[in-house]
Amino acid sequence: MLTLEDVHVSYGQLPAVRGVSLEVPSGGVLAVIGANGAGKSTLLKAIAGQLPLRSGRILLDGADISGLPAHVRVRRGVALVPEGRRLFKSLTVEENLLTALASRRTGPWDLEAVYELLPIVAERRDRIAGDLSGGEAQATAIARALVTNPLVLLLDEVSLGLAPVVVGQIYAGLPAIRSQGTAVLLVEQDVRQATSASPDVHCLLQGRTSLAGRDLPLDEITDAYFGA
Ligand SMILES: Nc1ncnc2c1ncn2[C@@H]1O[C@H](COP(=O)(O)OP(=O)(O)OP(=O)(O)O)[C@@H](O)[C@H]1O
Ligand SMILES: [Mg+2]
């Protein structure tokens, strides 16, 4: 579903992602892990079209989307849940979800379906987004991405700063999302969280792939993570 071929991304002269290739099949999941500054968010932003590629290609369902603007990629089926969630803080939860409907593709996820998947969002639908707890805001951000019916869902550190029980609730929704054919690419700094969510991991170290594979031993991942 999603293929990256030798992707390079820079900020001016500063390379941040240096030759990353990966694949996530339809209904599959891949965890991208790495320390602070490894290039994880840069990679997700490049896939979403918020940063240009310096070189390489991004394919969605076989089609090259590398040159498309971000809003077109959403309509083609790429949804990003960004670091820090970026909700419209003065709007209600439901109004936040409604803002995404303009880019909605046909598919199983409508308001009713995401409310069923994420009851915490349903309970808070009339709350002002700025008044939500971290977990509620994160669940709302995921719901907002989901109502676009993405082929690829990009999750940037959804567990960061949340209580373990809330993280569990959020990750519990992934199987239902994947069962509709959506490919999930998730970014985590927390290796245990990442490996419990996905048997396939892709480790970045200073913008480069330091390790990639399935069911890798934890010590091997830790070495790749810290560059030992
Ligand atoms: N807007 C920017 N301008 C210049 N350099 C940037 C910018 N954003 C990120 N960088 C640099 O690019 C590199 C990768 O940053 P990125 O945010 O992708 O890392 P990350 O893996 O998401 O880290 P974190 O776990 O802290 O979120 C870092 O060296 C960072 O300092
Ligand atoms: Mg980041």
pLDDT, tens digit, 9 for 90 and up, residues 69-84: 999 999 999 999 998 8
Q: How far is the CA of 36 from the centre of ligand 1 (A)?
A: 8
Nearest to 151 by CA among 119, 180, 188, 120: 180
Q: Which residues of 158-190 are buried (b: 16+ CB within 10 A; e: fewer)?
A: bbbebeeebbebbbebbebbbebebbbbbbbbe
Residues 46 and 96 sit within 8 Å (Cβ to Cβ): no
Rounded Cα distance between 193 and 196, Å, is 5
Residue with the smallest CA separation from ligand 1 atom 30 is: 37
pLDDT score, position 99 = 93
- Ligand 1 residue neighbourhood (C-beta within 6 Å): 11, 14, 16, 34, 36-42, 83, 189
Q: Which of 18, 41, 47 most suits a substitution to test ligand 1, by most atoms within 8 Å of the C-beta?
A: 41
Cα three-residue angle 181-182-185, rounded to 5 degrees: 140
Q: What percent of the chain has pLDDT over 70?
A: 100
DSSP per residue over 137-177, as a string?
Answer: HHHHHHHHHHTT--SEEEEESTTTT--HHHHHHHHTTHHHH
* List of residues 6+ apart from 119 with CB closer than 8 A: none
Q: Specify the ligand 1 atom closest to the Cα of 207.
A: 14
pLDDT, tens digit, 9 for 90 and up, residues 100-121: 998 889 999 999 999 999 999 9
pLDDT, tens digit, 9 for 90 and up, residues 140-172: 999 999 999 999 999 999 998 888 888 888 899
pLDDT, tens digit, 9 for 90 and up, residues 46-68: 999 999 999 999 999 999 999 99
Q: Which of 18, 20, 40 most suits a substitution to test ligand 1, by most atoms within 8 Å of the C-beta?
A: 40
CA 148 to chain centre: 14
Q: Which ligand is nearest to the CA of 37?
A: 1
* List of residues 6+ apart from 91 with CB closer than 8 A: 99, 128, 129
Model's pTM, two decimal places? 0.96
